[in-house]
Amino acid sequence: MTVVLLHGLGGESSQPLSLFGPVIPPAITVVAPDVRAHGSSSVVGSAADFSLANLADEVALALLVAGHAATPLTLIGISMGAAIALRLALDERLDVREAVFVRPAFTDSGLPPNLRPFPVIAQLLADHGAVEGERRFTSGAVFARAAAESPVGADALLQQFRSPLAVERSRRLVEIPRNRAWSHASELAAVTARTAVVAAIGDPVHPVAVARRWAELLPDPDYTEVPSRDAGYGAQVAAIRRSVTAFLGWGA
């Protein structure tokens, strides 16, 4: 069995590795790629390169080249990674047995309200750079709305200004949120892998309503809601790990 860990927008492979690495059994092979313009990937490219379909295809090709195509796969995706995992679960080249969608943020609408801060951040990065851009963002209405719902969630948005090569890679914050995770409900209904959806309470970028929509459309998924980060990040991490390990049988 191979586990594929997929990070969120603006993140890198260390994000899911730190979250799930401690609970993945030693006998399981772990693959944690950095998608285009993230982490160790120096490739940026054009707007079309940032479609979820293309990002998923790049991950699938990397898995195929590495010899994982014939191996049963478990996918665990966080936020953007959940949307990529959905595309991979529908890729007939891969033997996906389980797919876990953690804090999904993408829907069947391009640039839903929860993702609208990202193009704002991208424009500030392009116009003012990382330091001044962050200062302007924290004094603006978009940050204030996020902070009113979740101070920790609002602070998490600031990592987009602090990530490596934030200015050079700012295109990702414009193009990726425009994507739809699916166009028709039948796409989710066609997923044959066992699935689980993990929602986080009080998260402005990853609303519970979005996670519930995924759970409504997927065939018989396991569904869990975990506490808000504002109630304690450690408590949320522990709850996510419990939910995922229980679903995958890692604690047995």
Above pLDDT 70, what percent of the chain?
100
Beta bridge pairs of residue 98: 74, 194
DSSP for 207-237, written as a single string: -HHHHHHHHHHSSS-EEEEE--GGG-HHHHH
Position 118 scores a pLDDT of 98
Above pLDDT 90, what percent of the chain?
96
pTM, rounded to two decimals: 0.96
Alpha-carbon distance of 207 to 198, in angstroms, equals 11
Mean pLDDT of 21-40: 96
Question: Which H or E element spans position 78?
Answer: strand 73-78
Contacts of 31 (CB under 8 A, 6+ apart): 2, 3, 4, 5, 63, 66, 68
Position 252 scores a pLDDT of 54
Contact between 213 and 206 (Cβ < 8 Å): no
Confidence of residue 111 (pLDDT cuts 50, 70, 90): very high
